[in-house]
């Protein structure tokens, strides 16, 4: 494998002077200690990074066979207190968030004191509704300050928040409401996206109609000023709610057990409906804070910007809990990279003098495609470090980012992690070692990855040998269960290799020990860094009365990383028309949301299946990728072993059909 050219580590000498972790030797020593003695490693950090009402009795206790994980058992703390109250002493007037609206004319900064005041008001309103520790609150808001406010208000009183990404449809919101049984829903009239209004309240109304579960109250923040329907018995405007007479300005933070739930966040899996990944308080908070500090090497006077939506875990950890626990200043951006033009990110970087910037490969590709000039319109020399997350970054995108945005200097932190991991798992650190484009370098502290051979289940023996990625030991940020379904948690993550956490990704380690993530090896597609289960999209497609069967796979997509490819068979005597394709696309968007829009639909007379009736997605992926163009592929053995397929003849028309679809 190619050694990293010299210019990739131009930053190393400079970072070695300033970084928290400033040499390979220091990293190696800390890493060793984190695995050998997690108590001695995480205990002092928990004291340094968090404020506690009561000390813990033991740092770690776990059973990976049962999927039972406990960090800082017996300890008591409150996340809202850690993010707000304790900063009032020395950071009350420090900016917590620079809010940058979708409209460049709309911006506002919010200090720690202001954030604290607003959080207390909303917490007081929640208390007045009788909301207490353990109750669920679903939050469906655009990227506005009120989103972290709502989350922290819940955390303050011990309620469990579940944020639903504003791009999800009413149906998706309804299914999350039905699963988590919230007493309160917090939403807004609308949000802005590229100059257009997205009617969140309308979706929320529809979701509540669809859902069997009744929420008691809906709190609505007025943001977009669009008209809304109103149910006065159930709905309350945010500004009226917090202005109510007699509502206290201060709510005592609820002392939570270290392992009390902090939030639920739904994410797709290879089967069934999205699952409610549950994170608890102390371990998650600590892991988020420490990784924010060290991976981005953030100093207290630097501005951080993570462009993710808070509706995903990246936003939870690196816009809300990580930065606020550390008392940092970050940017909270409502808009999109393309509006008003594709230089928006760099305009915002320049405006707030962002030092550390974290985004997704898909955004970089979309921006790079629009040309280099836009990137050079702004002075981005304030940038000192870049990050990416969500999918493997392709070399072209990496080089563009490094050269045009990083000025051939900023190191790029390619952070591999997951909703379930709570924070970074395998990632470079800026002063530890040269970076190899496309590799996420080395494991973060406490993380012990291992690649197991898919056939033998044993650790791979050679450098660069690919296999399934497992993690051997618990780390503080990991999820603790699937909400309401611990069996599913055990089954999904701890049953493939008892005693180890299964990531769902394929990976390899090269001869220098660098880690490379290949991508998902389960039935999950990664679209623009967002996870979608093939089963979910298939379920949406078969809701159509003309559809007999559907099989969905991912395929390489220039912008999104992976696109969604659907093979659909219709019922007898149904015409396979363009109009039907349009209907199907609309149906999926309605059931899940625009992110699940199929890119290509191919009609299939029949789908390849095993004798037990399982669709052979491996074969379909190859066809969808355009990797097989020879109709005689089956006969020539190009598709590999097809002996388990009931009727290999179904493949020929699928290969021909693929050729006639242009992608
Ligand atoms: C999946 C997790 C963690 C926040 C974003 C997505 C893929 C994530 C990388 C990376 C290669 C990556 C993996 C992982 N992924 N980051 N740096 N390099 N792949 O969270 O929706 O839970 O998805 O995203 O396949 O399993 P998520």
Whose alpha carbon is nearest atom 20 of ligand 1? Answer: 418
112 in a structural domain:
yes
The pLDDT mean for the chain works out to 95
Neighbours of 610 (CB within 10 A): 11
Domain assignment of residue 225, given as a range: 106-257
Q: What is the 8-class DSSP label of residue 285?
A: H
In whole angstroms, give the CA distance from residue 366 to residue 497. Answer: 39
518 in a structural domain:
no
**Would you state the pLDDT for residue 612?**
83
271 in a structural domain:
no
CATH number reported for the structural domain that contains residue 596 in this entry = 3.30.300.30
Percentage of the chain beyond pLDDT 90 is 90
Q: Is the CB of 316 under 6 A from ligand 1?
A: no
Question: What residue spans of 296-354 are helical by DSSP H?
Answer: 313-315, 322-326, 344-352
Q: Is the CB of 362 under 6 A from ligand 1?
A: no
**Ligand 1 atom with minimal separation from the 427 CA:** 17
At 254-301, the pLDDT tens digits run: 999 999 999 999 999 888 889 999 999 999 999 999 999 999 999 999
- Kindly report each contact of residues 343-349 with a partner whose C-beta sits within 8 Å and lies 24 or more positions away, as own/partner: 343/374, 343/375, 343/377, 343/378, 344/104, 345/307, 346/374, 346/375, 346/377, 346/378, 346/380, 346/405, 347/104, 347/377, 347/378, 348/100, 348/305, 349/305, 349/378, 349/380, 349/382, 349/383
Domain's final residue, options 203, 222, 257:
257
**389 Cα: distance to centroid of ligand 1 (angstroms):** 6
Query: For 300, phi and psi rounded to 5 degrees?
Result: -65, -25
What are the start-end ranges of the E strands in 349-392? 354-359, 385-389
599 in a structural domain:
yes
Candidate from 265, 416, 523 with most ligand 1 atoms within 8 A of CB, to mutate? 416
At 569-605, the pLDDT tens digits run: 999 999 999 999 999 999 999 999 999 999 999 999 9
Least confident of 4-13, 51-60, 316-325, 378-387: 4-13
**416 Cα: distance to centroid of ligand 1 (angstroms):** 6
**Would you state the pLDDT for residue 645?**
83
Measured between alpha carbons, how far is residue 589 from residues 17, 33, 53, 578 in Å?
50, 48, 46, 17
Position 3 confidence tier, pLDDT thresholds 50, 70, 90:
low
Whose alpha carbon is nearest atom 17 of ligand 1? Answer: 416
Task: Please indicate whether residue 4 or residue 501 has the higher confidence score (pLDDT).
Answer: 501
How many helices (H) does the chain have, and how many strands (E)?
23, 32
Widest pairwise Cα distance in the chain: 79
Position 234 confidence tier, pLDDT thresholds 50, 70, 90:
very high
**Ligand 1 atom with minimal separation from the 519 CA:** 25
**130 Cα: distance to centroid of ligand 1 (angstroms):** 38
Query: What is the pTM assigned to this prediction?
Result: 0.96
Least confident of 98-102, 489-493, 496-500, 633-637: 633-637
Q: Is the CB of 437 under 6 A from ligand 1?
A: no
590 in a structural domain:
yes
**Would you state the pLDDT for residue 472?**
98
**520 Cα: distance to centroid of ligand 1 (angstroms):** 9
Candidate from 319, 322, 390 with most ligand 1 atoms within 8 A of CB, to mutate? 390
Q: Is the CB of 505 under 6 A from ligand 1?
A: yes
Neighbours of 597 (CB within 10 A): 15
350 by Cβ neighbours in 10 Å (0-12 / 13-18 / 19+) ranks as: middle
Q: Is the CB of 389 under 6 A from ligand 1?
A: yes
Residue 647, phi-psi category: left (phi > 0), alpha (psi -120 to 50), beta (remainder): beta
In whole angstroms, give the CA distance from residue 599 to residue 622. Answer: 16
* Cβ-Cβ contacts under 8 Å for 51 (sequence gap 6 or more): 77, 81, 82, 86
Q: Is the CB of 501 under 6 A from ligand 1?
A: no
Query: For 511, phi and psi rounded to 5 degrees?
Result: -65, -15
417 in a structural domain:
no
At 158-174, the pLDDT tens digits run: 999 999 999 999 999 99
Q: Is the CB of 416 under 6 A from ligand 1?
A: yes
Whose alpha carbon is nearest atom 10 of ligand 1? Answer: 416
Query: For 122, phi and psi rounded to 5 degrees?
Result: -65, -40
Position 610 confidence tier, pLDDT thresholds 50, 70, 90:
confident
What is the number of structural domains in the chain?
A: 2
**Would you state the pLDDT for residue 663?**
53
Neighbours of 84 (CB within 10 A): 28
Q: Is the CB of 520 under 6 A from ligand 1?
A: yes
534-541 vs 578-591: helix crossing angle, rounded to 10: 120
Neighbours of 336 (CB within 10 A): 17
At 335-391, the pLDDT tens digits run: 999 999 999 999 999 999 999 999 999 999 999 999 999 999 999 999 999 999 999
- DSSP of 84-122, one letter per residue? TGGGHHHHTTSEEEEEE-SSTT-EEEEEHHHHHHHHHHH
At 631-652, the pLDDT tens digits run: 888 888 888 777 788 888 899 9
Task: Kindly state the tokens that stand for 123.
Answer: 């917490």
Task: Tell me the average pLDDT across 117-126.
Answer: 98
Whose alpha carbon is nearest atom 14 of ligand 1? Answer: 418
In whole angstroms, give the CA distance from residue 562 to residue 522. Answer: 14
Task: Kindly state the tokens that stand for 563.
Answer: 């696109």
**Would you state the pLDDT for residue 1?**
44
**Which of 165, 389, 154, 143 minimizes the C-alpha distance to 267?**
165
On whether the CB atoms of residues 492 and 269 are closer than 8 A, the answer is yes
Task: Tell me the average pLDDT across 475-480.
Answer: 98
H or E segment and range at residue 62: strand 58-63
**109 Cα: distance to centroid of ligand 1 (angstroms):** 31
Q: Is the CB of 415 under 6 A from ligand 1?
A: yes
Domain's final residue, options 227, 257, 287:
257
Neighbours of 102 (CB within 10 A): 24
**Ligand 1 atom with minimal separation from the 421 CA:** 3
**179 Cα: distance to centroid of ligand 1 (angstroms):** 24
Candidate from 391, 449, 501, 514 with most ligand 1 atoms within 8 A of CB, to mutate? 391
In whole angstroms, give the CA distance from residue 504 to residue 523. Answer: 9
On whether the CB atoms of residues 184 and 126 are closer than 8 A, the answer is yes
pLDDT at position 437 over 50? yes
Task: Tell me the average pLDDT across 193-218.
Answer: 98
653 in a structural domain:
yes
**Which of 388, 342, 371 minimizes the C-alpha distance to 194?**
342
Candidate from 318, 531, 560, 562 with most ligand 1 atoms within 8 A of CB, to mutate? 531
CATH number reported for the structural domain that contains residue 136 in this entry = 3.40.50.980
Whose alpha carbon is nearest atom 21 of ligand 1? Answer: 531
Measured between alpha carbons, how far is residue 607 from residues 236, 321, 340, 570, 631 in Å?
51, 46, 44, 11, 16
Task: Please indicate whether residue 198 or residue 661 has the higher confidence score (pLDDT).
Answer: 198
**Ligand 1 atom with minimal separation from the 530 CA:** 21
Q: Is the CB of 309 under 6 A from ligand 1?
A: no
Domain's final residue, options 257, 275, 305:
257
**253 Cα: distance to centroid of ligand 1 (angstroms):** 33
Q: Is the CB of 419 under 6 A from ligand 1?
A: yes
331 in a structural domain:
no
In whole angstroms, give the CA distance from residue 409 to residue 280. Answer: 38
């Amino acid at each position: 494998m190619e050694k990293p050219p010299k210019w990739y580590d131009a930053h190393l000498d400079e970072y070695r002077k300033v970084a928290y972790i400033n040499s390979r030797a220091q990293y190696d020593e800390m890493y060793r200690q984190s695995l050998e003695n997690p108590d001695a490693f995480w205990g002092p950090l928990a004291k340094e990074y968090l404020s506690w009402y009561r000390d813990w009795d033991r740092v770690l206790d776990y059973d990976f066979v049962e999927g039972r994980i406990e960090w800082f058992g017996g300890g008591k703390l409150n996340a809202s207190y850690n993010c707000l109250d304790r900063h009032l002493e020395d950071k009350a007037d420090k900016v917590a968030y620079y809010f940058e609206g979708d409209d460049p004319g709309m911006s506002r900064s919010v200090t720690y004191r202001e954030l604290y005041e607003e959080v207390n008001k909303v917490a007081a309103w929640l208390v007045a509704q009788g909301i207490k520790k353990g109750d669920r609150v679903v939050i469906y808001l655009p990227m506005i300050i009120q989103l972290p406010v709502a989350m922290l208000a819940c955390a303050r009183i011990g309620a469990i928040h579940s944020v639903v990404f504003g791009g999800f449809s009413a149906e998706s919101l309804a299914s999350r409401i039905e699963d988590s049984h919230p007493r309160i829903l917090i939403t807004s009239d609308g949000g802005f996206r590229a100059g257009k209004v997205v009617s969140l309240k309308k979706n929320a109304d529809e979701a509540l109609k669809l859902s069997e579960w009744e929420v008691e109250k809906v709190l609505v923040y007025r943001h977009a000023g669009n008209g809304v329907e109103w149910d006065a018995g159930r709905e309350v405007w945010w500004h009226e709610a917090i202005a109510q007479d007699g509502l206290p300005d201060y709510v005592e933070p609820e002392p939570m057990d270290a392992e009390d739930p902090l939030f639920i966040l739904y994410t797709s899996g290879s089967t069934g409906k999205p699952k409610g990944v549950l994170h608890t308080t102390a371990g998650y908070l600590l892991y988020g804070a420490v990784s924010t500090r060290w991976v981005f090497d953030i100093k207290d006077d630097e501005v951080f910007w993570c462009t993710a939506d808070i509706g995903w875990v990246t936003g939870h950890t690196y816009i809300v809990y990580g930065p606020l626990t550390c008392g940092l200043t970050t940017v909270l951006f409502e808009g999109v990279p393309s509006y008003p033009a594709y230089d928006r990110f760099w305009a915002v970087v320049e405006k707030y003098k962002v030092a550390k910037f974290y985004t997704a490969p898909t955004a970089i590709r979309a921006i790079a495609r629009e040309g280099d000039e836009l990137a050079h319109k702004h002075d981005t020399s304030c940038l000192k470090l870049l990050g990416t997350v969500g999918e493997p970054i392709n070399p072209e995108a990496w080089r563009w980012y490094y050269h045009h945005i990083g000025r051939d200097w900023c190191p790029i932190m390619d952070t591999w992690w997951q909703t379930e991991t709570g924070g970074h798992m395998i990632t470079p650190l800026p002063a530890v070692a040269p970076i190899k484009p496309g590799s996420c370098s080395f494991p973060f502290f406490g993380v012990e990855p291992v690649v197991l051979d898919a056939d033998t289940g044993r650790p791979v023996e050679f450098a660069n040998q690919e296999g399934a990625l497992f993690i051997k030991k618990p780390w503080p940020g990991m999820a603790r269960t699937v909400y309401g379904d611990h069996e599913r948690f055990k089954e999904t993550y701890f049953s493939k290799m008892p005693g180890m956490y299964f990531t769902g990704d394929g990976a390899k380690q090269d001869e220098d020990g660098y880690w490379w993530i290949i991508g998902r090896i389960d039935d999950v597609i990664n679209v623009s860094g967002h996870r979608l289960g093939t089963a979910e999209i298939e379920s949406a497609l078969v809701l159509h009365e003309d559809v007999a069967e559907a099989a969905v796979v991912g395929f390489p997509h220039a912008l999104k990383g992976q696109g969604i490819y659907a093979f659909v068979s219709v019922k007898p005597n149904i015409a396979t028309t363009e109009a039907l394709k349009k209907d199907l696309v609309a149906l999926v968007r309605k059931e899940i949301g625009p992110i699940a829009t199929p890119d290509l639909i191919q009609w299939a007379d029949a789908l390849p299946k095993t004798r037990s009736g399982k669709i052979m997605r491996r074969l379909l992926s190859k066809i969808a990728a355009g990797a097989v163009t020879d109709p005689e592929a089956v006969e020539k053995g190009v598709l590999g072993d097809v002996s388990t397929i009931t009727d290999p003849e179904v493949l020929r028309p699928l290969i021909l059909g693929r050729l006639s679809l242009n992608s």
